[in-house]
Amino acid sequence: MNSLELQSKGLYEQYEQSAIDALDVVDAEPLDEKAVQPDEVLYAASQWQLMWRKFRRNRVAFLGGVIILIYYVCALAPGFFAPYPADEYLLHGELINQAPQRIRLMDDGRFMPHIYKIAPEEKPEPEETETPQFTFTPGRVDLEEPEAFEPGLVVDETQPVPIKFFARGYDYNVLGLFETDIHLFQPADPEAPIYFMGTDDASRDMFSRIIHGAQISLSIGLIGVVFSLVFGTVLGIASGYYGGVVDDLIQRLIELVRSFPTIPLWMALFNALPPHMPMLRKYFLITLILSLIGWTWLARQLRGKVLSLRNEEFVTAAKLAGASDFRIIFRHLLPATFSHIVVVSTLALPAMILAETALSYLGLGLQPPTVSWGVLLNEAGINAVTIYPWQFAVPAISVAIAILAFNFLGDGLRDASDPYSL
């Protein structure tokens, strides 16, 4: 080694040491500052807090969430929101196929929501009160027929009937917990029916039926998703974590389930249910059948997620610290996939609701007198689209709004679910 080299080596060392000293200071400073900064709230914020921060900023998703919340509140206590029981025949069964009633908000310049009383004519002819028989020839519908009012019913516009809020009406039960008769709104005169979404061909209030139907339609989605979640999470995580033969078996099972054509499979399964089975049991079996097909989605997604997580170094670190499989799965893998599970289930709910609706519409699912949105669509029948459009539109629109809201919510959650991708 020549002297120049030696000299330069010494200089380099000095430089190196001074650089290290300088950096020690630089690194230490921000640590001290951060301790007193309000950022501590952000630095110690959990994943859920960060998700919430991000989600709140997404207005469409937030709106979706609010709508879903309203729907589910209605589904929890339909008696409170529906002015009538699901099978109440208005005006003793004479208010058939009525178009939506107009709700007037102002009376003599004052704010007073009210309706007008509708009643049969003084001398009703028995023939006239029955549903007129329409002759339906495909491709031709007689639009000249009166639609809004059946012959024999007259609206009394002289006496406004105010709508009372939080008024007493029929008795109902809230989730089997307590009985009450308080309703969100009721017409002041019990003889004056309120039907602002029209009535069906058996003179029942569409709005009340939609609210009561929501209970079944929305909960079938929820329960179905819970079943799917259990199957999908267990099988998906097992498949991804253990790999090998377990993975192969589960993946082939998923392919098998997925390759069945769904509608014929459903038909076969529903036909296998005994026809006089109690409705509640049938309802649970239907959700189970729906989720037997729905779980594959989640299982696939979770498998992929776990496959990538399994090789993350923090999982290796836990393994090398001596953690059991159980601990690794529940402390490291499941929390990491949790936001994913929430998103997938939010997006799976509408599919479940649609499936129930489709099945009931086809007459394969629930049947009257049970009320669900699918049953309502099925009851509306094919004529309804052109002649009594509200009978079809009301359930269809409420399904559509629920689906859209779920999708908005799910998209928002998905965007918010990875708060570390800042």
Partner 1 sequence: MSDNKQSILLDVRNLKKFFPIQRGLLRQTVGYVKAVDGVSFFVRDGETLGLVGESGCGKTTTGRTILRAIDATDGEVWFRQGENMINVAELSRRQLKPLRREMQIIFQDPFSSLNPRMTVMDIVSEPLSIHGMAKGKQLKDQVCELLEAVGLKSQHMNRYPYAFSGGQRQRIGIARALALRPRLIVADEPVSALDVSIQAQVINLLEDLQAEFGLTYLFIAHDLSVVEHISDRVAVMYLGAIVELATSTELYKNPLHPYTEALLSAVPKDEPGQTRERILLEGDVPSPSNPPPGCKFHPRCRYVEDICRTAVPEWRELGDDHWVACHRAEELQLRGIQTT
Which range of residues in 10-18, 56-64, 341-349, 362-370 is near partner 1 by CB under 8 A? 10-18
* Separation CA 298–CA 337 (nearest Å): 11
For residues 242 and 232, what is the distance between their CA atoms, to the nearest angstrom? 15
CA distance 219 to 74: 11
Assess contact for 283 and 367: CB atoms under 8 A.
no
Which residues are within 8 A (CB) of 260 and not within 5 positions of it... i.e. 6 or more apart? 293
- Binding to partner 1 (CB under 8 A) within 212-241 occurs at none
**12 touches partner 1 (CB under 8 A):** yes
Distance CA 84, CA 70 (A): 19
Site for partner 1 in 333-372 (CB under 8 A): 335-336
Shorter beta-carbon distance to partner 1: residue 31 or 280: 31
Bridge partner list, 186: 164
For the window 23-42, what string marks contact with partner 1 as x by the rule CB under 8 A? xx--x---xx-xx---xx-x
**Binds partner 1 (CB under 8 A): choice among 14, 16, 136, 165:** 16
User: Which of 66-74, 158-166, 175-183, 319-327 is the region at the interface with partner 1 (rule: CB under 8 A)?
Assistant: 319-327
Count CB neighbours of 320 within 10 A: 9
Q: How far apart are CA 160 and CA 170, in angstroms?
A: 22
Span 403-422, contacts to partner 1 by CB under 8 A:
420, 422
For partner 1, the closer of residues 337 and 372 by Cβ is: 337
Q: Is residue 255 close enough to count as binding partner 1 by CB under 8 A? A: no
Q: What is the DSSP letter of 400?
A: H
44 contributes a contact to partner 1 by CB under 8 A: yes
19 binds partner 1 (CB under 8 A): yes
Of 354, 58, 37, 98, the residue nearest 220 (C-alpha): 354
Q: Does 9 bind partner 1 (CB under 8 A)?
A: yes
User: Alpha helices of 44-143 — where are they, by DSSP H?
Assistant: 47-56, 59-76, 78-81, 126-129
Helix axes 279-310, 206-242, angle to 10 degrees: 40
> Quick check: 175 binds partner 1 (CB under 8 A)?
no
Which SS3 state, helix, strand or coil, does residue 283 take?
A: helix
| Shorter beta-carbon distance to partner 1: residue 24 or 191 | 24
Backbone angles phi, psi at 13, to 5 degrees: -60, -45
Closest approach, Cβ 233 to partner 1, in A, equals: 17
Residue 250 contacts residue 235 (beta carbons within 8 Å): yes
Residues in contact with partner 1, counted by CB under 8 A, come to a total of: 43
Residue 13 interacting with partner 1 (CB under 8 A): yes
**Residue 419 backbone phi and psi in degrees, to 5:** -70, -10
Q: Does 8 bind partner 1 (CB under 8 A)?
A: yes
Answer for which of 25, 143, 280, 321 binds partner 1 (CB under 8 A) is: 321
- Give the binding range for partner 1 (CB under 8 A) out of 93-101, 104-112, 196-204, 323-331: 323-331
Where on the chain is the footprint of partner 1 (CB under 8 A)? Answer: 1, 4-5, 8-9, 12-13, 16, 19-20, 23-24, 27, 31-32, 34-35, 39-40, 42-47, 312-314, 316-323, 327, 331-332, 335-336, 420, 422
